[in-house]
Chains A and B, each alone.
Chain A
Amino acid sequence: MSEPFEPKIVAFVCTYCTYAGADLAGTSRLKYPPNVRIVRLPCTGRISPMFILKAFQKGADGVLVSGCHPGDCHFDHGNYHARRRWTAFNALLQFTGVPEERVKFSWISAAEGIKFAELIESITEEIRTAGPFEQYHKLIAETGSAASV
């Protein structure tokens, strides 16, 4: 009897805004699905497109990248650089056929606990509907290393 598909979601977030927002969701006891794994970086400026590729290699069905709103970056303008990077990499991923619903970018501030919870909820549901990222999982299986799904 196979279990219903539960997507694996990895979120790369900045410490001062989105991570703090996620903490706020916690202190407010909001509830969201347990599918997401959060990786903390000091700033969205530190979030490399490589991380996204490795998350997929580990069997992630969806990736979220999130940080401070433009103008509010704790490190002045790391997120402006991130934004340009995301624009280019997002276009490249979509052109390559990575479905748009599997890679999401957002600005979530330290005060937006509700936004964080709601976004995780909607992303998880969207990917649950889209199903596992089978095309990628097949490529992973081909290399002989099992993805932890």
Chain B
Amino acid sequence: MAKIGVFVCHCGENIAAKVDCTKLVAAMESHPGVAIAHEYKYFCSEPGQESIKKAVTGHGLTGVIVAACSPRMHEATFRTACAEAGLNPYLCEIANIREQCSWVHSDGEQATRKAIEITRSLVEKVKRNNELQPIEVPVTRRALVIGGGIAGIQAALDIANAGGDVVLVEREASLGGHMAQLSETFPTLDCSQCIMTPRMVEAARHPKIRLLTYSEIEKVEGFIGNFNVTVRQKARYVDMNLCTGCGECIIKCPAKKISGEFDCGLANRTAIYTPFAQAVPNKPVIDSGHCIYFKNGKCKACQRVVCPTGAINFDMEDELVELEIGAIVVATGFQVQNTALYGEYGYGRYPDVLTGLQFERLASASGPTGGKIQRPSDGKEPETIVFIQCAGSRDPSKGIPYCSKICCMYTAKHAMLYHHKNHEGNSRIFYMDIRAAGKGYDEFTRRAIEEDGAGYVRGRVSKLWQENGKLMVRGADTLLGRPVEVAADMVVLATAMVPQSDSKELGKTLGIGYDEYGFFNEAHLKLRPVETATAGIFLAGACQSPKDIPDSVAQASACASKVLALFSREKLEREPVIAQNNEATCSGCWGCVLACPYNAIEKKDLTDRAGNLIRRVASVNAGLCQGCGTCVTFCRSNSIDLAGFTEKQIFAEVMGL
């Protein structure tokens, strides 16, 4: 037998001025199933809440309606009060008679009538409310960080320093990502490796971080707090326990003409190699695609002749590592856009047309030229360098309408580094805008212009060709209103920052969304920028959108805080407004599985006692369901339902109007 308590709040004059609360109370008192109806000035106040609690216990109420302000204001307040009085909080509903009644209607009589109907319909709803218990899900306190660049390292260190276990998975043979390739970083011109390598070492040595380099994510199953991840550790052909990192094998390897990825093709490497001298771990891998032994069975010099500890093992195989993980941080970073997009800029045709990252390698003290800016074609120092900003970004016709965020800054930096190394040098930077919004950023670009003499030209480049040993660059100078031609010795293209080429595959493996470019989707661009729609998976760094180092580090720490919040409890408590399936009437058509934005519905086998499959039905994962109800509306047979907004509740609410 329903015993609903209706509490009509005056909210001072906010409701009472328009809605006749006494009349509302009287109307409710005579409504079937209502045990008591009271009115009060401010039910959200302490005495107000106390009176509700007293009424709950005193009358043994089976449900509570508070007719007051919007549920978005105080539903939580009143539900907590009910819980404290021993009534399941989900047996409390709020009738909005302020924002959607007293505040928006001029006629008191009509407002009162509306308030009565609204309250009445919610009384009918709450009669069909079920007691709901928060869902508890256990949590494995181990985080997986995918990507060992600056963002991944930051997240791993933050979590590990707080006592959480971390497994840090990096695809390449060494940590470092793109930041390790940089020479100096804006806006401070810190040496990139100087600030990075201590972090890399700290991450490698941290007792709470398990480092899996040269490894990739193979499979991810499970849900928040309870992921099962399979990592493929690719065969290094070098035993990490025996190798001392002496580097002799690298020196003696006869396969020396392999284009080095770390130097963006500006220098060669050997088949057995470490990506760069400061690699962490500083132990080599064998690139089986180029190793002479793997190609034709000969050589094996490193093993036969060189290695003092017998660490080289050509019979090694990939290993699959199974991990139990509670939270995942995705920090897979970016790659530099293929510059074939702009054929008119001659990348690939002229050896002295470079990407920004290649210029970094030239400028880097540990780079292929020891930090000297010199032309790949003839090794000469360029007298004039043309930098072209937006070489790929902000161009819908090339499929990249977004801004890559970092190029204005690194181009200014490149110009500065060039001028520092070559005091007589000339630079021309073709730009559309100078985007320097960060702390110290605008001052940095002004410095490039005013102190170092970088020559900014506002306009785009239309054509680039070779003439008399020079690269002729024709563009527009829109501020002076005329075309301009520059005879350059080197051209640097600020190419777009794009996601990793396989980011969409990783997104599918993880079950997280991505946009048309492959950047991963955050749960809400402004208010939930590090979460994804999949509970327990977070995003840090450029894999989410183009960003610089400060923002990547900040976002990584934000991820760590989310992960640590998750780990701070033994069990994860989730709001029980989730879907539930009636397995008896479900036909297993999987429309709900498909429609669910959170991949929260699984296919479950119904078996008989002998273990034979009877049929398969939908089953909701309580850890993943967010309670949108899209599945419910799809289900033609009314099998799946949404707690808190059940079919019966809504039917009663509508029919109670």
User: Do A and B touch directly, given a CB cutoff of 8 Å in the complex?
Assistant: yes
Q: Is the CB of A42 within 8 A of B629?
A: yes
Within A1-60, the residues touching B (CB, 8 Å) are: 10, 15, 19-20, 22-23, 25-27, 29-34, 37-43, 45-48, 51, 54-55, 57-58
Contact yes or no, B630 A45, CB < 8 A: yes
- Contact partner of A85 among B121, B577, B633, B657, CB < 8 A? B633
| Residues on B with beta carbons closer than 8 Å to the beta carbon of A43 | 628-630
Contact A31 B630 (CB under 8 A): no
Residue numbers in A under 8 Å from B111 (CB-CB): 34
A25 CA / B627 CA spacing, docked (Å): 26
Tell me the complex Cα distance, A76–B632, Å.
16
Given contacts A42-B645, A81-B595, contact A10 B654 (CB under 8 A): yes
Asked if A148 is at the interface (CB within 8 A of a chain B CB), the reply is yes
In the bound complex, do residue A19 and residue B110 qualify as a contact, i.e. CB atoms below 8 Å apart? no
Find chain A residues with CB under 8 A from B103 CB: 26-27, 29
Report if B653 contacts A (CB, 8 A): yes
Please tell me which one of the listed residues A26, A46, A55 contacts residue B104 in the complex, with CB atoms under 8 A apart: A26
Known: A38-B96, A46-B629, A46-B642. A76 touches B577 (CB 8 A): no
Contact between chains at B99 and A78 (CB < 8 Å) = no
Which chain B residue lies CB-closest to A23? Answer: B99
> Nearest CB to that of B632 among chain A residues?
A46
User: B100 an interface residue at 8 Å Cβ cutoff?
Assistant: yes
Closest residue of chain B to A27 (Cβ to Cβ) is B99
Assess whether A140 is interfacial by the CB under 8 Å rule. Answer: no
Residue-wise, chain B 614-657 has the 8 Å CB interface mask toward A (1 for contact) of 00000000000011111011100000001011000011011101
Question: Cβ of B107 < 8 Å from any Cβ of A?
Answer: yes
From B110, B634, B650, A81 is in contact (CB under 8 Å) with: B634
Q: Separation in Å of the A80 CB from the closest CB of chain B?
A: 9
Q: Chain A residues with Cβ under 8 A from B628's Cβ?
A: 42-43, 45-46, 74-75, 78
**Across the interface, do B100 and A38 meet the contact criterion of CB distance under 8 Å?**
yes
* A-B contacts at CB below 8 angstroms, number: 120
Q: Which chain B positions have C-beta within 8 A of A119?
A: none
User: From DSSP, what is the main secondary structure of chain A's interface residues?
Assistant: mixed
Is A77 engaged at the interface, CB distance under 8 Å to the other chain?
yes
Q: Which residue of A lies closest to B642 (CB)?
A: A46
In Å, the complex CA distance between A54 and B124 comes to: 15
C-alpha gap A82/B634 in the complex (Å): 10
Interface digits, A58-76 against B, CB 8 Å rule (1 contact, 0 not)? 1000000000000001111
Whether B70 contacts A77 by the Cβ 8 Å rule is no
Write the nearest CB–CB distance from B501 to chain A, whole angstroms: 25
Q: Are A42 and B577 in contact (CB under 8 A)?
A: yes
B423 part of interface (Cβ distance < 8 Å): no
Q: How far is the CA of A55 from the CA of B100 in the complex (A)?
A: 19
Q: Evaluate contact between B645 and A41: CB separation under 8 angstroms.
A: yes
Bound-state Cα–Cα, A112 to B533, Å? 25
B interface, CB within 8 angstroms of A: 70-72, 96, 98-101, 103-107, 110-111, 113-114, 117-118, 121, 513, 524, 533, 577, 595, 597-598, 626-630, 632-634, 642, 644-645, 650-651, 653-655, 657
Chain A interface (Cβ < 8 Å from any Cβ of B): 10, 15, 19-20, 22-23, 25-27, 29-34, 37-43, 45-48, 51, 54-55, 57-58, 73-78, 81-82, 85, 117, 148
The 3 closest A-B pairs by CB, nearest first: A26-B99, A46-B629, A45-B630
- With A45-B595, A81-B633 given, can you name 8 additional A-B contacts, CB distance below 8 Å? A25-B99, A32-B105, A39-B121, A39-B650, A39-B653, A43-B628, A47-B633, A75-B626
What are 18 of the A-B contact pairs (CB < 8 Å)?
A: A15-B72, A23-B72, A23-B99, A26-B98, A32-B104, A34-B114, A41-B650, A42-B629, A42-B644, A43-B629, A45-B629, A45-B630, A46-B642, A47-B633, A48-B632, A55-B654, A81-B630, A82-B633
